[in-house]
Amino acid sequence: DRKVNCLEDSLIIWKELCTNKLLENVPLVLFLNKSDLLRKKLEDGVQVSRFVVSYGNRTNDYETVEKYFRSKFEAIRRQYSNNERPVFTHVTSCINQVTTADIINHVQDLLMRENLKNSSLM
């Protein structure tokens, strides 16, 4: 639905995940997907502050925007979640299948290590 702001929708879902009592003791994985599209829109001159009022007067370059989005999600996690819970954040572009496969393998490895650590097997 074009009327729905996908970022706002994602932040709402992230808050729901962070506050979910059933998930309070499990690690979280955050994929900031479509980084290639974000980079292209910024290069084309799209101003983030036009769509995200809280972005303010920050520079409109990819690195600053990515850092801002990471911090938005992290702030929600800090406010609504157990601070001890690990969060694995990955910036992705599903167009690049090799990188995406590497990230998924990395996340699986991290989660396996976390589960082994929590079960006292590691």
Q: Is the pLDDT of residue 3 over 70?
A: yes
The percentage of residues in the chain with a pLDDT greater than 70, rounded to a whole number, is 96
**More reliable by pLDDT, 89 or 83:** 89
Mean pLDDT of 116-121: 76
Helix (H, G, I), strand (E, B) or coil at 114: helix
pTM to 2 decimal places: 0.77
pLDDT, average across residues 56-85:
92
Q: Which of 30, 9, 7, 13 is nearest to 85 (CA)?
A: 30
The pLDDT > 90 percentage for the chain reads 45
| 85 or 56, which is more confident | 56
Specify the pLDDT at position 1. Answer: 64
Q: Is the pLDDT of residue 94 over 80?
A: no
